[in-house]
C-alpha cells in the first residue's frame, strides 16, 4: 500500500491553512456576547501600591467591570505556582515568593499587572483603563543580576533576603579544586549570557468563557501546553476541579518557550468571565509582549577549564548568577540548574565538573525557558572555554576537541546525565569538510587584501531533549510528570484520527506525526489527521518544549499504534480463520504467512465497528487505543557548527560569510521540516550573538521595548546556511529519534563568537557583537 | 488610537483652512499613525492629503528635479528622471525603511517630521534644495530648526521640494541595526564650483561638515576626508552608538560617499 514515509520530504499539511489565512488563532475566536479586557500595568519597576481608584474608569463608555489585587485576594485566588522545586546548597527549599495574578501591595517590574478593566470593545477597555488612577510610592530598583545581592540593594520580597532565590551546586568542589591545582594550563573566562526577549509572531491572547448551564469554564489561549495550563490553573490557583475547565490552544503562532507558562492574564480572564457572565478576551499588543512575556537567558558567569600539557581536560569550574526577574515564572528555577549545569560536560570526557548557580530576583520581567533553555548557556560556557583554551595552548581548535571527545557509549558524565549514543568525530569530520575549513587561510588572505578581518569558530554542542524519566525528574524537584500521551482512533472505514498531547505552534506536527502514523500503518497520509491543543479532545498531554515532541509524543503515538496493530491482528486472525501467530501485518495488509489469504487494514477496522463476524468472546468491538509513554532517558542530539565571519574594522560590522551545521538528530522523519527547524534555530542563535540585547536603565525601565531598539535578526543578517546530518539512532525509543527544535539556537552563539574573537584576535567579546561593540573592542585592543 | 474627525480636502487651500488647533495633516501615515496607535498623539482632526493629486509627482528639466510633497519614497526610488538626473537621490529613497514604508511614506511627511535620523534631510541640505510650501520658499538653513522641529507654521503645507542637480553625488548610510534609520548618513554633492557635505543621524538635526567641504572643494577624493577627525561634542549618544562612535562613522561614511560619487 503506502510508500515509506519516514524520511520523506513531505510538504507540510498545515501550510495550506496558514498560507491562505484559514488558520484559527486564539484572537480569531469571537464568542457570543464577547467582552474585552485591558490590563493596567505598572509604569514603575518597584513601587508600593498606595491606592487604586476605579471611580473614573467606571464612568467610561462601555465599561463593564474592573478588578484589582484586592478583589482577587477576596476571591481567594492563589498566586502563580512554580513547577520545579530547587533545593539550596544548605538543604533548604528555594525561596518562592508569592506571585499574585494582580499586584498586591507592591509592584516589582515595569508591566506588572495592577488591574483588569473589561468593556464592550477593546478600544473602550483601553480608554477606561487610562482612567484608572494609581497612586504609587516609587522605590529604588535593582535590575542587574550581578548587583542583586550587593549590600544595600533594594529588596524585592520579604521572604527572600538578599534577593536570593537559591544557591545551588552540582559536582564535587574539592576534587575539582585538586585537579586545578595540578593543571598544566587553566583557561578562564568571564562573560554575560545576554537577556533575550522572545517575540513570537503571534502575541499572547487569552479568552475566558463561563457557562452557567453546567458551571464550567473554557479558556482559549495561545499556549504550548494546554493540559499543563489547566492543571496549574485549576489545582494551584483557582481551586477548581479539572473536569470543569477546558483549555483550548488552537493554532499558535510561535512560542519559543514563552507560551509554556501559566500567566496572570490567563487566570484573570477566566475568573472574570464568571463574574461578568460574559466571555472576556485579552490580546497582548507588541509593547505589552516586550514587558510581560517571560524573557530568556541573563546569566553572569565565571568559568574555568583545567588541562594537562597535552590539552586533555582535567576539570571545569563554573560560577553563575542567574537573573530570574521579579517573580518565579513556571519553570524559571530549573532552567539555570537542571537544564544548564547538567550539560557542562558537553561532548567531552572532562572527569570532574563543579558548578554553582545563584538565582536572584530583580525588578525585571520574569525569565524562563527560551528556545534551548539552559543548554545554549551551557554550550556557550563549554565551547567558548574550549576554543579559547586551544588558542592559548596553540592547538588547533578541532584537534583539542577531538582529543577530548567521548567515544564510548553509554557514557556517564560527572554531572548526572548518561549519554546513550553519539559520534562526535563524525559530525566534526562532516562539518569541517562542508565548511571547507582547509580553504580558510586562502579566504583569509583575500579578506586581508580588502582590509577586512576574517575569523573561523567552532561549536561542538550537545543537548538533552525530552526531559525524563518522570521518577528521576521528580527526585530532582519537578512538580509535574514528564511523559506524553497519544491516542489513535481508527474510524470504521480505516481512516485515522490521532490525538497527541504534544502541541504544534510552528513545528509541523500535523505532517511529521502523520508521516509516522501513515508509515507504521501502511496507509495513505491523507487518511491521517493529527489533533492537538484541546483538553476536551486530547486525553492528556505535557505539551511542547525542550524539543520533546517527536521523541516523547511521537513515541506515545507509536505505542498506541502498536496496540492497534496487535488488536487488528486478533480480528484479522478471526476473519481469516487462522492462528493469530500466523498473521503478519505488512504495510496496511494482514496476511496469513505462506498463503494468499489477506485482509486490508480498512476491512479489519470495518469488522471492528460492524462486528457481525467478530471474536466477541475474546475482544471488545471498536479500534481505539491510547498510550502513555514515560521515556527511560533524555535523548542527546549533538553536532558541530562552523562559522566564518568577515569583519569591517572601520565600522565594526560583522558579516557572516558561511555558517555550516552538521547535526545528529538520530533518525529523521522529515528532512525538510528538520532543516527548517535548524535554520530557525540558527537564526535565533545568531540573533543572540549578533543583534539581540534586552537592556534596562538603572531605574528598571526597558530601553529596548520595541523593534526600533530591539533588533531581531532579519533575512539580510544571516547567510545561506549549509546544513547536513549524521545519524546515530537513539537507543531507547522505537523511532530512534532525538529532537531538533532547539539545536540551532544552542550551538550558534558560541560558534559565532568564536569566529568573531578569532577575527579580532581577542579573548573576550561581549554578546551581542553589534557594530559599536566590535568597534570598541578593536579600539581598546589598539590602545592596549 | 483615540477617536478623531477625518477630512479629505480636495485643495491645498481647503487643507490649510482645516489645519488648526489639534488637527494634524496626514501624508503616508508612517510616523503619524504609529504615534496615534501608541496613543502618544491624539489629534482631534485628521486632514488626509491623499486626494491632492497635484502634490504628487516628479518633474525634471535636467538641471533641477522637483518632487511633489505627496510623492512616495518608492516612486522617487524608481523614477527614471531622478535616476538619470540625481541618481544619489533615487538611491537614498530606496534605502528608507522597508518596502511597505517606501510604498506609503512621502517626502513631505519625512521633511515635516524632521526626525534626526531620517534620510531625506541629508539630501535636502546636501544639495541646498528648496522647500516649497503653500506660503513661501525656504532654504534648508531656514527650514530645519532642530530635533523634530521645522520652520513650518501650523497651517503651512509643504507642496514640493526642488533639488538642483549636482555634477556628482552619493549618499552612504550606516543603518541602526534595529530600526534601519540612519545612525549616520552622509550626503556628498559636488557642484563643480562648490562641494556640500550633509550629515544626518549623528546630531539632533541634519548639519553640514565645513572642514570636509573645504577639503573636497580643493580635491574631490576620499583621502581628502579620510583623516578629518569629527568632534563628538553635541552629537547624539544612545544604546546603538555613542557620540564617539558616531563621530568616527561620519568620517568613514564621508570617505565612502566620496568613493561612491567617483564611481
Ligand atoms: C518601519 C519604519 C521604518 C522607517 N525607516 C526610515 C528610514 O530608514 N529613513 C527615514 O528617513 N525614514 C524612515 N521611516 C519614516 C518614513 O520615511 C516616513 O515616511 C516619514 O517619517 C513620514 O512620512 P509620511 O508621509 O509617512 O508622513 P505622516 O506620518 O503622514 O506625517 C508625518 C508628520 O508630517 C506632517 N506632514 C505630512 N505631510 C506634510 C506636508 N505635506 N506638509 C506639512 N506637514 C506634513 C504630518 O502632519 C505629521 O506630523 C520609517 C518608518 C517606519 C514606520
- pLDDT confidence of residue A3: 67
Residue A388: CATH number of its domain: 3.30.365.10
Number of residues that this document lists for chain A: 784
Instruction: Decide: B123 in ligand 1 pocket, CB within 6 A.
Output: no
- pLDDT confidence of residue A275: 98
User: Residue B212 CB: number of other CB atoms within 10 A?
Assistant: 25
Q: From ligand 1's centre to the CA of B104, what distance in Å? A: 9
CA distances from A97 to A167, A250, A327, A590, B174 (A): 16, 32, 7, 59, 46
Residue A566 shares a structural domain with residue A650: no
Residue B153 shares a structural domain with residue B78: yes
* CA atoms within 13 A of residue A497's CA, in its CB half-sphere: 8
Q: Which three cell numbers stand for residue A56?
A: 473614573
A560 has pLDDT over 70? yes
Q: Which residues in chain A are closer than 8 Å to B239, comparing Cβ atoms?
A: 695, 703-704, 709
| Domain-embedded: residue B45 | no
| Domain-embedded: residue B24 | no
Domain region containing A327: 299-468+633-783
| Domain-embedded: residue A345 | yes
> At which of B118, B133, B164 does a domain end?
B164
Which of B177, B246, B255 should one mutate to test binding to chain A, selecting the residue with the greatest count of A CBs within 10 A?
B177
B133 has pLDDT over 80? yes
| Domain-embedded: residue A2 | no
Residue B152: CATH number of its domain: 3.30.465.10
pLDDT for A388-400, tens place per residue?
A: 999 999 999 999 9
Size of interface A-B (CB pairs under 8 A): 37
CB of A283 within 8 Å of a chain B CB? The answer is no
Residue A269 shares a structural domain with residue A131: yes
| Domain-embedded: residue B179 | yes
| Domain-embedded: residue A182 | no
Residue A758 shares a structural domain with residue A624: no
Q: What is the mean pLDDT of chain B?
A: 97
User: Residue A431 CB: number of other CB atoms within 10 A?
Assistant: 27
Q: Which residues in chain B are closer than 8 Å to A651, comparing Cβ atoms?
A: 174, 249, 252
| pLDDT over 90 percentage in chain A | 97
Residue A381 shares a structural domain with residue A308: yes
Above 0.85 for ipTM, yes or no?
Answer: yes
Q: What is the mean pLDDT of chain A?
A: 97
Residue B152 shares a structural domain with residue B224: no
Phi/psi class of residue B232: alpha, beta or left (left: φ > 0; alpha: ψ in -120 to 50)? alpha
The 3-class secondary structure across B147-197, one letter per residue, is CCEECCCCCCCEEEEEEECCCEEEEEEEECCCCCCEEEEEEEEECCCCEEE
Q: What is the total count of domains within chain A?
A: 3
User: Residue A33 CB: number of other CB atoms within 10 A?
Assistant: 10
| Domain-embedded: residue A162 | no
| Domain-embedded: residue B141 | yes
Residue B247: CATH number of its domain: 3.30.390.50
- pLDDT confidence of residue A317: 98
Instruction: Decide: B152 in ligand 1 pocket, CB within 6 A.
Output: yes
A1 has pLDDT over 50? no
> At which of A600, A629, A658 does a domain end?
A629
pLDDT for A152-209, tens place per residue?
A: 999 999 999 999 999 999 999 999 999 999 999 999 999 999 999 999 999 999 999 9
Does B241 contact A710 at a Cβ distance shorter than 8 Å?
no
Q: From ligand 1's centre to the CA of A288, what distance in Å? A: 25
* CA atoms within 13 A of residue A700's CA, in its CB half-sphere: 31
pLDDT for A604-661, tens place per residue?
A: 999 999 999 999 999 999 999 999 999 999 999 999 999 999 999 999 999 999 999 9
Reported as a pLDDT band with limits 50, 70 and 90, residue A312 is: very high
Q: Which residues in chain A are closer than 8 Å to B116, comparing Cβ atoms?
A: none
Domain region containing B214: 168-261
Q: Which three cell numbers stand for residue A277?
A: 457572565
| Domain-embedded: residue A17 | no
Average pLDDT over residues A593-604: 96
| Domain-embedded: residue B63 | yes
CB of B148 within 8 Å of a chain A CB? The answer is no
Instruction: Decide: B110 in ligand 1 pocket, CB within 6 A.
Output: yes
Residue B201 shares a structural domain with residue B138: no
Contact of B236 with B201, CB cutoff 8 Å: yes
- Of A655, A652, A651, A633, which Cα lies nearest the Cα of A643? A655
Instruction: Decide: B69 in ligand 1 pocket, CB within 6 A.
Output: yes
* Cell numbers 524559571: residue: A332
Residue A102 shares a structural domain with residue A69: yes
Q: What is the total count of domains within chain B?
A: 2
Does A651 contact B174 at a Cβ distance shorter than 8 Å?
yes
pLDDT for A710-738, tens place per residue?
A: 999 999 999 999 999 999 999 999 999 99
| Domain-embedded: residue A8 | no
A2 has pLDDT over 60? no
Instruction: Decide: B187 in ligand 1 pocket, CB within 6 A.
Output: no
Atom of ligand 1 nearest to the CA of B69: 41
- Of A256, A125, A243, which Cα lies nearest the Cα of A203? A256
Candidate of B110, B126, B171, B176 to mutate for ligand 1, largest count of ligand atoms within 8 Å of Cβ: B110
Q: What are A490's strand-pairing partners? A: A496
Does A650 contact B174 at a Cβ distance shorter than 8 Å?
no
- pLDDT confidence of residue B2: 87
> At which of B144, B164, B184 does a domain end?
B164
Q: Which residues in chain A are closer than 8 Å to B177, comparing Cβ atoms?
A: 691, 711, 770-771
Residue B61 shares a structural domain with residue B158: yes
Angle at A350 between CA A346 and CA A356, to 5 degrees: 75
Contact of A297 with A378, CB cutoff 8 Å: no
Q: Which three cell numbers stand for residue B196?
A: 556640500
> At which of B164, B187, B220 does a domain end?
B164
Measured CA to CA, the distance from residue A266 to residue A270 in angstroms comes to: 6
| Domain-embedded: residue A763 | yes
Reported as a pLDDT band with limits 50, 70 and 90, residue A480 is: confident
Number of residues that this document lists for chain B: 263
| Domain-embedded: residue A429 | yes
Q: From ligand 1's centre to the CA of B26, what distance in Å? A: 9
Measured CA to CA, the distance from residue A52 to residue A37 in angstroms comes to: 18
What does the radius of gyration of chain A's CA atoms come to, in whole angstroms? 27
A471 has pLDDT over 70? yes
CB of B174 within 8 Å of a chain A CB? The answer is yes
* Cell numbers 496613543: residue: B39
Measured CA to CA, the distance from residue A240 to residue A80 in angstroms comes to: 15
Residue A120 shares a structural domain with residue A39: yes
Average pLDDT over residues A742-768: 98
Gap from B81 CA to chain A (nearest CA, Å):
29
Residue A655 shares a structural domain with residue A709: yes
| Domain-embedded: residue B44 | no
Gap from B211 CA to chain A (nearest CA, Å):
21
Residue B78 shares a structural domain with residue B107: yes
Residue A232 phi/psi, 5° resolution? -65, -40
Q: Which three cell numbers stand for residue A579?
A: 492462528
Amino acid at each position: 500500500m503506502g510508500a515509506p514515509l519516514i524520511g520523506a520530504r513531505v510538504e507540510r499539511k498545515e501550510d495550506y491553512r496558514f498560507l491562505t489565512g484559514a488558520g484559527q488563532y486564539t484572537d480569531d475566536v469571537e464568542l457570543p456576547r464577547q467582552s474585552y479586557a485591558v490590563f493596567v500595568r505598572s509604569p514603575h519597576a518597584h513601587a508600593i501600591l498606595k491606592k487604586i481608584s476605579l471611580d473614573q474608569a467606571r464612568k467610561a463608555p462601555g465599561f463593564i467591570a474592573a478588578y484589582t489585587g484586592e478583589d482577587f485576594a477576596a476571591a481567594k485566588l492563589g498566586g502563580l505556582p512554580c513547577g520545579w522545586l530547587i533545593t539550596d546548597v544548605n538543604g533548604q527549599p528555594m525561596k518562592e515568593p508569592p506571585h499574585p495574578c494582580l499586584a498586591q501591595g507592591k509592584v516589582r517590574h515595569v508591566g506588572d499587572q495592577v488591574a483588569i478593566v473589561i468593556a464592550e470593545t477593546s478600544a473602550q477597555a483601553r480608554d477606561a483603563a487610562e482612567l484608572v488612577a494609581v497612586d504609587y510610592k516609587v522605590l529604588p530598583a535593582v535590575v542587574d543580576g550581578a548587583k542583586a545581592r550587593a549590600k544595600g540593594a533594594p529588596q524585592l520580597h520579604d521572604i527572600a533576603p538578599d534577593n536570593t532565590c537559591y544557591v545551588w551546586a552540582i559536582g564535587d568542589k574539592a576534587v575539582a579544586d585538586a585537579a586545578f591545582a595540578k593543571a598544566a594550563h587553566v583557561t578562564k573566562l568571564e562573560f554575560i549570557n545576554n537577556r533575550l526577549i522572545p517575540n513570537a509572531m503571534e502575541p499572547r491572547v487569552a479568552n475566558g468563557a463561563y457557562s452557567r448551564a453546567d458551571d464550567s469554564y473554557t479558556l482559549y489561549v495561545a499556549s504550548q501546553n494546554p493540559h499543563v495550563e489547566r492543571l496549574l490553573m485549576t489545582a494551584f490557583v483557582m481551586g477548581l476541579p479539572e473536569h470543569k475547565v477546558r483549555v483550548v490552544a488552537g493554532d499558535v503562532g510561535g512560542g519559543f518557550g514563552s507560551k509554556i507558562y501559566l500567566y496572570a492574564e490567563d487566570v484573570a480572564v477566566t475568573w472574570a468571565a464568571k463574574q461578568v457572565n460574559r466571555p472576556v478576551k485579552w490580546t497582548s499588543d507588541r509593547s505589552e509582549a516586550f514587558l510581560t512575556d517571560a524573557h530568556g537567558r541573563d546569566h553572569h558567569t565565571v568559568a574555568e577549564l583545567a588541562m594537562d600539557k597535552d590539552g586533555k581536560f582535567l576539570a571545569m569550574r563554573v560560577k553563575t548568577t542567574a537573573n530570574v526577574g521579579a517573580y518565579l515564572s513556571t519553570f524559571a528555577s530549573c532552567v539555570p540548574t537542571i537544564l544548564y549545569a547538567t550539560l557542562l560536560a558537553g561532548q567531552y570526557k572532562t572527569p570532574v565538573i563543579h558548578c554553582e548557580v545563584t538565582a536572584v530576583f530583580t525588578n525585571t520581567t520574569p525569565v524562563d525557558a527560551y528556545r534551548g533553555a539552559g543548554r545554549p548557556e551551557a554550550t556557550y560556557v563549554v565551547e567558548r572555554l574550549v576554543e579559547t583554551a586551544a588558542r592559548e595552548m596553540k592547538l588547533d581548535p578541532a584537534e583539542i576537541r577531538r582529543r577530548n571527545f567521548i567515544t564510548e557509549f553509554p557514557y556517564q558524565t560527572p554531572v548526572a546525565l548518561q549519554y546513550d549514543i553519539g559520534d562526535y568525530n563524525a559530525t566534526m569530520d562532516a562539518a569541517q569538510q562542508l565548511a571547507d575549513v582547509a580553504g580558510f587561510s586562502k579566504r583569509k588572505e583575500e579578506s586581508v587584501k580588502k582590509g577586512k578581518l576574517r575569523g573561523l569558530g567552532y561549536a561542538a554542542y550537545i543537548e538533552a531533549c525530552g526531559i525524563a524519566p518522570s521518577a528521576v525528574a521528580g527526585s530532582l524537584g519537578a512538580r509535574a510528570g514528564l511523559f506524553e500521551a497519544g491516542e489513535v482512533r481508527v474510524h470504521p472505514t480505516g481512516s485515522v484520527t490521532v490525538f497527541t498531547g504534544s502541541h504544534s505552534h510552528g513545528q509541523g506536527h500535523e505532517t511529521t506525526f502523520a508521516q509516522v502514523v501513515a508509515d507504521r500503518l501502511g496507509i495513505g497520509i491523507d487518511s491521517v489527521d493529527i489533533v492537538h491543543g484541546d483538553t476536551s479532545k486530547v486525553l492528556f498531554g505535557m505539551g511542547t518544549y525542550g524539543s520533546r515532541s517527536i521523541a516523547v509524543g511521537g513515541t506515545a503515538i507509536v505505542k498506541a499504534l502498536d496496540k492497534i496493530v496487535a488488536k487488528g491482528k486478533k480480528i484479522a486472525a478471526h476473519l481469516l480463520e487462522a492462528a493469530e501467530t500466523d498473521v503478519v501485518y505488512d504495510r496496511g495488509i494482514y496476511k496469513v504467512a505462506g498463503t494468499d489469504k489477506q485482509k486490508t487494514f480498512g476491512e479489519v477496522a470495518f469488522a471492528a465497528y460492524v462486528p457481525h463476524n467478530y471474536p466477541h468472546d475474546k475482544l471488545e468491538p471498536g479500534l481505539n487505543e491510547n498510550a502513555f509513554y514515560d521515556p527511560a532517558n533524555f535523548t542527546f542530539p549533538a553536532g558541530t557548527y562552523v562559522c566564518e565571519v568577515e569583519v569591517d574594522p572601520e565600522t565594526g560590522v560583522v558579516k557572516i560569510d558561511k555558517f555550516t551545521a552538521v547535526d545528529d538528530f538520530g533518525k529523521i522523519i522529515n528532512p525538510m521540516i528538520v532543516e527548517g527547524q535548524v535554520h530557525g534555530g540558527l537564526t535565533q542563535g545568531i540573533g543572540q550573538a549578533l543583534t539581540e540585547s534586552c537592556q534596562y536603565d538603572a531605574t528598571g525601565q526597558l530601553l529596548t521595548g520595541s523593534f526600533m531598539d530591539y533588533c531581531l535578526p532579519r533575512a539580510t543578517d544571516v547567510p545561506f546556511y549549509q546544513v547536513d546530518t549524521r545519524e546515530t539512532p537513539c537507543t531507547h525509543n522505537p523511532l530512534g529519534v532525538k529532537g531538533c527544535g532547539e539545536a540551532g539556537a544552542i550551538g550558534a552563539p558560541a560558534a559565532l563568537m568564536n569566529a568573531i574573537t578569532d577575527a579580532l584576535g581577542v579573548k573576550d567579546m561581549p554578546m551581542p557583537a553589534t557594530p559599536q561593540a566590535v568597534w570598541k573592542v578593536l579600539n581598546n585592543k589598539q590602545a592596549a | 488610537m483615540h477617536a478623531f474627525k477625518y477630512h479629505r480636502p480636495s485643495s491645498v487651500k481647503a487643507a490649510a483652512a482645516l489645519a488648526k488647533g489639534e488637527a494634524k495633516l496626514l501624508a503616508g501615515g508612517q510616523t503619524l499613525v504609529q504615534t496615534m496607535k501608541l496613543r502618544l498623539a491624539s489629534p482631534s482632526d485628521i486632514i488626509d492629503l491623499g486626494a491632492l493629486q497635484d502634490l504628487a509627482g516628479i518633474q525634471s528639466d535636467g538641471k533641477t528635479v522637483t518632487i511633489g510633497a505627496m510623492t512616495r519614497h518608492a516612486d522617487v526610488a524608481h523614477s527614471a528622471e531622478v535616476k538619470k538626473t540625481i541618481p544619489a537621490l533615487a538611491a537614498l529613497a530606496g534605502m528608507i525603511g522597508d518596502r511597505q514604508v517606501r510604498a506609503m511614506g512621502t517626502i513631505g511627511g519625512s521633511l515635516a517630521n524632521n526626525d534626526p535620523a531620517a534620510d531625506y534631510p541629508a539630501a535636502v541640505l546636501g544639495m541646498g534644495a528648496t522647500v516649497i510650501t503653500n506660503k513661501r520658499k525656504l532654504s534648508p538653513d531656514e527650514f530645519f530648526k532642530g530635533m523634530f522641529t521645522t520652520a513650518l507654521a501650523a497651517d503651512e503645507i509643504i507642496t514640493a521640494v526642488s533639488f538642483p542637480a549636482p555634477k556628482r553625488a552619493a549618499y552612504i548610510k550606516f543603518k541602526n541595526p534595529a530600526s534601519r534609520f540612519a545612525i549616520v548618513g552622509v550626503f556628498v554633492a559636488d557642484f563643480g564650483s562648490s562641494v556640500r557635505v550633509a550629515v544626518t543621524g549623528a546630531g539632533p538635526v541634519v548639519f553640514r561638515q565645513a572642514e570636509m567641504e573645504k577639503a573636497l572643494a580643493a580635491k574631490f577624493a576620499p583621502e581628502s576626508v579620510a583623516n578629518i577627525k569629527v568632534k563628538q561634542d553635541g552629537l547624539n549618544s544612545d544604546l546603538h552608538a555613542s557620540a564617539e562612535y558616531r563621530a568616527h562613522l561620519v568620517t568613514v561614511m564621508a570617505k565612502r560617499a566620496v568613493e561612491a560619487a567617483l564611481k
